[in-house]
Amino acid sequence: MGLFDSVMGAMSGQLQQHGGLTQVLGGLLANNSELGGLNGLTEKFNQAGLGNVISSWIGKGQNMPISADQIASVLGSGTLGNIASQLGMDPAQASQQLSHILPGLIDHLTPHGTAPEGGLGHTTDLMGMLGSLMQAR
C-alpha cells in the first residue's frame, strides 16, 4: 500500500468523524471555488515561492513534500481558518492534514502529468469524484 492509499484511508476515517473533507478539498480544487480551482491554487503556490512544489505534484515523477507551515503560508490565515472550521479542528491541525493529503491527491487527479486545460471541474463534479475516491480506500 502506497503513501497516498495510507493517507486517503486515514482521511476517509476523518471524513466519517468530521464530515466535510470532500467539501474542503472541492473548495480548494474546483473551478468555481474561491481560489479558482487548481489553476488558482497553483498561482497561490507561485506567489508563496512554492511553485516548484505544486508542479511536482502535477507533473510526473517524485512529489515534493510540503510542511504544515508552508500550507499555511500558501493559503493564508483566512482560508485556512475557514477550512479548519469546516473540519472541526484548529488551523494547525488542518494545515498538517492538508500537507499530507494534497501532494498525493493532486498527483492522482493529474495522472497525465499536466493540469487539465479546463481544470478539474466544478464543485459538484469534483465532490462526486472525491467522494468515490475516498470510499474506494
CATH code at position 74? 1.10.10.690
- The amino acid occupying position 24 is V
Q: Which pLDDT value is given to residue 42?
A: 96
Residue 28 lies in a domain: no
Residue 21 lies in a domain: no
Q: Which pLDDT value is given to residue 11?
A: 46
Q: Which pLDDT value is given to residue 85?
A: 92
Q: Which pLDDT value is given to residue 96?
A: 94
Range of the domain at 55: 33-136
Phi, psi angles (nearest 5°) of residue 68:
-60, -40
CA distance 51 to 41: 10
Structurally, the chain folds into a number of domains equal to: 1
Segments of the chain scoring below 50 in pLDDT: 1, 3-8, 10-12, 14-19
Q: Which pLDDT value is given to residue 16?
A: 44
Say what the pTM is: 0.81
Q: Which pLDDT value is given to residue 24?
A: 86
